[in-house]
Amino acid sequence: MSTLIKQDLFEGLLESAHSGFEDARNEAKSSYLAQGLPGAKAEEYKFTGITKKLEQTFQQLSPAQSFEVSAETVKSAIFEGFSGDILVFTNGKFQPSLSSIIDGLEVSLLSEKPETAIGSIAKPGKDAFCALNQASFENGIFISVPKKAQIEKPILLLFFNKENSGAVIQPRVWIEVGDFAEVTFIDQSINLSESPYFINKVVEIKGALNSHVHYYRLQNEGKNAFEVSNIETDIQKDSKFNSVTISLSGEMVRNNLSLNLLGSNSEGNMYGLYLLNGKAHVDNHTNVDHTIPHAESNELYKGILDDQSRGVFNGKIFVRQDAQKTNAFQQNNNILLSEDATVNTKPQLEIWADDVKCSHGCTTGQLDEEALFYLQARGIGKDQARGFLLYAFAGEVLEHIEEESFRTYCTELVQQRLGSKL
């Protein structure tokens, strides 16, 4: 019975009429109703009690309304040094009039592409929030990078959020990248309101033969943000997927990032950095599925946690029986700066093939006092010495952002936060 009460939270969402993708929506709705929202005992949400948190914060969650942003607001939100295309979303809904789209990239509303196989990558059965999004999203976006296209400048996905009445913001993004194409996305949210809001985001990425996709993400929306995201990628033979997720704040954030390696010689790299303070809570659940031989995956997630913040890392790696000669590496390292900060970290490897190289490791510790003293003994003030060491720790993730302007921007944000500005 308890699940019924919980589902009331999203009743308005499921009841309202949605256009297009009727079959996919119906399938997702049944899946959602069958799963129910993750309760206190849900293993996958053991450390991230998002359902309870949402119930405590919101009475009812209704679909978010789109709103207008001025060109100035958009302009001021773009980080310094950025040069490239911008796709603007308000409360999750794509706003073509505010976006700039270059030739060679196909962008439209998902509703204009009814043949899109939504839910075929991020399957609704895996996660109730993913199902909820599929059942009730509005104005999703369809992005297609044609064969052999080399999109040199990054594409900025700018999500403006403004909510005053407890609504659900449900971005839905479908990206397909053609054979031999290369593209970089930067996914950033901007908060324009003071009250709490809930984002339930789904991004599906389909990388074709020998394609390269970079997906960078910055989460820095402050303590009003509750967020669950499901970002899932399928990549084919000889293709590459790189992601870097930087999380600097969030009341409760859950990132489900999944990668399916479907063709040999494919490579996936997932990096993450979470710098948390106050009561921020960020949970990164990653999932890498090696289904074929000769593929490689690397994962490095690092966290620095202060005050009463909480970090969760759960890294699943499946190596299926056919996936011989797999290389899969995973690492999660954390520094706790306060007695009250918490990290829950769990590597989860399931290996069915016998000729593979897999490793994983996790560490949680304090700042290295000996290193701190060494720097101080050379005349460097304690705060700066501390910043130096923390930045050195964090830098190992930042260096994987290949897009220079975004790397510089994130580096500055991180240095400011850590007080390590040189």
Partner 1 sequence: MLSIKNLHASIEGTPILRGINLEVKAGEVHAIMGPNGSGKSTLASVLAGREEYEVTEGEVIFKGKNLLDLAPEDRAREGVFLAFQYPVEIPGVSSTNFLRTAVNQVREYRGQEPLDAVKFLTMMKEKMKLVEIDQKLLSRSLNEGFSGGEKKRNEIFQMAMLEPTLSILDETDSGLDIDALRIVSNGVNQLKSDKTATIVVTHYQRLLDYIVPDFVHVLYKGRIVKSGTKELAMELEEKGYDWIKEAVDSEATV
Q: Determine the Cα–Cα distance for residues 208 and 32; give it in Å rounded to an integer.
A: 30
Among 107, 367, 375, 413, binds partner 1 (CB under 8 A): 375
**Contact predicate 235/241, CB 8 Å:** yes
Q: Cβ 374 to partner 1, closest distance in Å? A: 4
Q: Cβ 220 to partner 1, closest distance in Å? A: 22
- Nearer to partner 1 among residue 65 and residue 363 (C-beta): 363
**Contact predicate 206/179, CB 8 Å:** no
**Contact predicate 290/260, CB 8 Å:** no
Q: Closest Cα partner for 394 from 248, 283, 284?
A: 248
Q: Cβ 266 to partner 1, closest distance in Å? A: 30
The letter for the amino acid at 260 is N
239 DSSP 8-state letter: -
389 binds partner 1 (CB under 8 A): yes
366 binds partner 1 (CB under 8 A): no
Q: Cβ 411 to partner 1, closest distance in Å? A: 12
Q: Determine the Cα–Cα distance for residues 206 and 208; give it in Å rounded to an integer.
A: 6
- Nearer to partner 1 among residue 13 and residue 335 (C-beta): 335
Q: Using CB under 8 A as the criterion, what x/- string covers residues 393-422 for binding partner 1?
A: x-xx-------------------------x
Q: Cβ 305 to partner 1, closest distance in Å? A: 18
Among 16, 147, 193, 374, binds partner 1 (CB under 8 A): 374
Binding window for partner 1 (CB under 8 A); candidates: 215-223, 250-258, 375-383, 406-414: 375-383
Q: Determine the Cα–Cα distance for residues 81 and 153; give it in Å rounded to an integer.
A: 12
- Nearer to partner 1 among residue 314 and residue 333 (C-beta): 333
Q: Which residues of 213-237 are buried (b: 16+ CB within 10 A; e: fewer)?
A: bbbbbbbbbeebbbbbbbbbbbbbb
Q: Determine the Cα–Cα distance for residues 161 and 190; give it in Å rounded to an integer.
A: 6
- Nearer to partner 1 among residue 151 and residue 389 (C-beta): 389
Among 147, 148, 357, 382, binds partner 1 (CB under 8 A): 382
Among 22, 68, 368, 404, binds partner 1 (CB under 8 A): 368
Q: Cβ 399 to partner 1, closest distance in Å? A: 9
Torsion over CA: 49, 53, 56, 60 (sign): negative
301 binds partner 1 (CB under 8 A): no
148 binds partner 1 (CB under 8 A): no
DSSP 247-266: E---SEEEEEEEEEE-STT-
Query: Where in 231-290 is the site for partner 1 (CB under 8 A)?
Result: none
User: What angle separates helix 382-398 from helix 369-376, to the nearest 10 degrees?
Assistant: 120
**Contact predicate 359/319, CB 8 Å:** no
- Nearer to partner 1 among residue 152 and residue 368 (C-beta): 368
30 binds partner 1 (CB under 8 A): no
197 DSSP 8-state letter: E
Binding window for partner 1 (CB under 8 A); candidates: 197-205, 227-235, 344-352, 367-375: 367-375
Among 1, 103, 355, 377, binds partner 1 (CB under 8 A): 377
- Nearer to partner 1 among residue 17 and residue 422 (C-beta): 422
| Side-chain half-sphere CA neighbours of 339 within 13 A | 0
- Nearer to partner 1 among residue 293 and residue 395 (C-beta): 395
List the Cα angle 110/111/115 in 5-degree steps: 80
Q: Cβ 394 to partner 1, closest distance in Å? A: 8
What does the binding site for partner 1 look like in residue numbers (CB under 8 A)?
368-371, 373-382, 384-385, 388-389, 391-393, 395-396, 422
